Amino acid sequence: MQQTEEHPVVRKTIVVNADLNRAFEVFTQNMGQWWPKEHHIGGSPMVAVVVEPRSGGRWYEKDEDGSECDWGAVLRWDPPNGLILSWHLNGDFEFVADISRASEVEVRFTTESGGRTRVELEHRYFERHGESGDRLRTEVDKPGGWTYVLGAYAKLLAA
């Protein structure tokens, strides 16, 4: 879907210091190592972020108190080229189980020269969140949203 005034899309692109396979692996299987700890929804400090490596898998956080908080699901699993995740957090960052009310986050990985990888993130379908969709789009598009999250990912790969 193309970005329109009626259906805005948030797009972010970074180039990371890792080959295609490593970039995909760290993004999906090591998310808990780079995802900013303050970006969580549980009532206890977050200790891990899990993306189950298959279509239909869960995307969730594990918290210090042993609880788990769902964020979404894996809609498409295509290693090392990309994945699509459903985003079930509304504009108040509350989980809504109904997939028809979830936006999508697509992440594509493309080989660049020098053993680096371009990572393109597209967060779309905010309108599915109803009246809180505009608020969510604004939050994830701020410097402290996807730009900050992807920066933490790139920083881990640069180390």
With beta carbons less than 8 A apart as the criterion, state whether 140 and 124 touch: no
- Per this entry, what is the length of the chain? 159
- The model's pLDDT over 38-62, given as tens digits with 9 standing for 90+, comes to 999 999 999 999 999 999 999 999 9
DSSP 53-89: SSTT-EEEEEETTS-EEEEEEEEEEETTTEEEEEE-B
Quickly count helices (H) and strands (E) in the chain: 4, 7
Q: Quote the pLDDT of residue 58.
A: 98
Fold that domain 10-158 belongs to in CATH = Alpha-D-Glucose-1,6-Bisphosphate; Chain A, domain 4 (3.30.530)
Q: Quote the pLDDT of residue 3.
A: 46
- The model's pLDDT over 92-115, given as tens digits with 9 standing for 90+, comes to 999 999 999 999 999 999 999 999
Q: Quote the pLDDT of residue 5.
A: 60
Task: Provide the pLDDT confidence category of residue 6 given band limits of 50, 70 and 90.
Answer: confident
With beta carbons less than 8 A apart as the criterion, state whether 158 and 17 touch: yes
